[in-house]
A and B are shown apart, each in its own frame.
Chain A
Amino acid sequence: MLIIEDLHVSVGTTAVLKGVNLTVPTGEVHAIMGPNGSGKSTLSYVLAGRPGYTVTAGKVSYDGQDLLALAPEERARRGVFLGFQYPVEIPGVNNVYLLKAALNAMRKQRGLPEVDAFEFLGLVRDKMKLMQMPETFLSRGVNEGFSGGEKKRNEILQMLVLEPQLAILDETDSGLDIDALKVVASGVKSLRGPNRSFVLVTHYQRLLDHIVPDKVHVLAGGRILRSGDHTLAHELERRGYDWVISEAA
């Protein structure tokens, strides 16, 4: 699904990613953990195509295509979803409008007709129940006045409606209380399946108690220093990151 080879990325004149290698096969959930400033969010943004991040070397293949050659909206339409660490508020753009426009953009890409309005509302209502979101959220501006936890739930709601092939969730767990974390985790789990891959970027192992990953990678200093199974997350929780960094040195 996703193959990252020797990826180097700079922001301005600062090199942030310095040779990332990562393969996420179809149907797997990979967690990327690491200390602050290790390049986790940069990796998420580069995969989604955010301007201002310069790829200086390396390549990224998604579903056999050169991902870096695609514009952000084309990546989205081909099934790449980024759940933001800090979802932006867009007052005046209706939540339900955005959901529908986004879904129709994907459907158009797949050669499907626009979604029927009635069906769409039914679909959204079901997903909202799962995310325990009141229906009034639909008529509000995108993330407008939402609490931190509500914004994260809204990201997962969008993911559930869009059903991406590759979901990159950038610290979706940060700032969530334990109940919200469970709701978010159940949303992710409901979508987990053999045709879909996830990259979960996180600081803490607690999300991984609810979503057991197939692989855990440690990103530090712009490189993946260690990879392992889900038990690596527990080890990191116990021992911190320093030992990984010193062993890699």
Chain B
Amino acid sequence: MTSPLLTRIAAEHAATLAVQSPGAQAQAHRRSALQSLLARGLPTSRDENWRYANLRALEKANFTPGTAARAVSAAELPAPIEGFTRFVFIDGQFAPQLSAAPGSSGAASLTRLQGELPTSGQAFALLNEAFATDGADLQVVASAAPADVEVLFYSASPAAAYPRLKVSLAPQARLRLIERHVGSVATAQFINCAVRIDVADGASCTHYRLQESGAATTWTDTLRATVSRDAGYQLHLLQIGALAARTSVDIELAGPAARTHINTVSLADGQQVHDNMIVVDHQAAHTQTQENFRGIAGGRARIGFNGLITVRNAAHHADSAQSLKGLLAGADAEIDLRPQLEIHTDEVRCSHGATTGKLDDGMLFYLLTRGIDPEVAQRLLKWAFITDVVANIDVPALRTHVQRSLASRMQDAQSLEELLS
């Protein structure tokens, strides 16, 4: 049975194809993605892994992507991170005038993404497949120094956007990737992002994902990474934007001694809902996961973090550790942390801890007895709560940007400046 929402998506899809009239092959491909989506259906809040997402926001979303991108000047964009080669997409479309020249830049080469983006067949990945018209295909070869690349997805109009990114690291390649999503519109907008990352044997990828979309945005994304033998994938997820955001991450530790390190910070206030579902699949021996989550919910905000770690039969000597912490900073705020382990073999080491609480009265009193203003003391403690995870960002300019961005969300940019210096 097709829901009214899917019926509307199908109608918007048909209208979009009529306007865009892409080539026969692309058209067939996008129709097929839509058919798969219609057959599969969208998740509902009755699905265990979608309970905390605000799926009702989709009912009001407009799924049709924009037709003509507004002209955006470089000055309007957030400042680039020094030393990183920047590629910019405006409303999902590549913007050559704002980007480095495509093609090779050191060890990395970026081309326009053609064809499909193999993700998990998840509903939102299919939705991206059905609507997206452009994307980035980043290939990285081995080199002495890591390739440093920033891909900025900027929303200039309130139309829907479908950012897409495919990243392939050759054996022994090294990449530091900044994936930034920044919104300039305050009106409602739907963004549905799909990212696929392949880390080949012995390669190393550090991926910084900054979700700083507009305040009324409905955000969904699907990120899938495969990590091969002796390879490392480090993911820093920063969730601060959007009104309703759902992030779905699947990481396969496919080769022996593959490892991943995931740091997630979620900062939500007002009516924001941030839901994060991160699945790590240990498929091979000696694979390692380190997962940290820090979330602060103020106002009536809701934050969910569902961290599922599966250790398969072949993954003996797997090692995983989860540290999930939530801080309730509003009387009506809610945080739901779910560390989950599914272990199908012996000889593994898996630890997890999850705590949610309010600001510590003892710490607060200590700061007051030193003459610190109560509001400043509260902000300091909130800051302190997330800072250990942020400190792991090893690009100083990016770390400073993230700290400033977090500080401004906490409305304490001025006094926190001192902390950063």
Contact = CB atoms under 8 A, between A and B. Distances in A.
B4 interface: no
B363 A88 contact: yes
A92 B369 CA distance: 18
A92 B366 contact: no
A90 B384 contact: yes
Interface of B: 360-363, 365-374, 376-377, 380-381, 383-388, 415, 418-419
Given A49-B368, A76-B369, 19 more contacts: A51-B361, A71-B368, A72-B365, A73-B368, A73-B377, A77-B371, A84-B366, A87-B366, A90-B381, A92-B384, A92-B387, A92-B388, A93-B380, A98-B367, A101-B372, A102-B370, A105-B371, A158-B370, A162-B370
29 contacts: A49-B369, A50-B365, A72-B368, A73-B373, A73-B377, A76-B369, A82-B369, A84-B366, A84-B369, A90-B384, A91-B388, A92-B383, A92-B384, A92-B385, A92-B387, A92-B388, A93-B380, A94-B419, A97-B419, A98-B367, A98-B372, A100-B418, A101-B376, A102-B372, A105-B372, A106-B371, A142-B366, A158-B370, A162-B371
A17 interface: no
A43 interface: no
A98 B373 CA distance: 12
Contacts of A49: 368-369
Contacts of A87: 366
Interface of A: 48-51, 71-73, 75-77, 81-82, 84, 87-88, 90-94, 97-98, 100-102, 105-106, 109, 141-142, 158, 162
The 4 closest A-B pairs by CB, nearest first: A92-B384, A105-B371, A76-B371, A102-B370
B362 A72 contact: no
A60 to B, nearest CB: 16
B361 to A, nearest CB: 7
Contacts, number: 78
Contacts of A101: 370-372, 376, 415, 418
B333 to A, nearest CB: 20
A71 to B, nearest CB: 7
A224 to B, nearest CB: 24
B198 to A, nearest CB: 35
A50 B363 CA distance: 12
B283 to A, nearest CB: 35
A32 to B, nearest CB: 18
A87 B369 CA distance: 11
B363 A48 contact: no
Nearest to A142: B366
A107 to B, nearest CB: 10
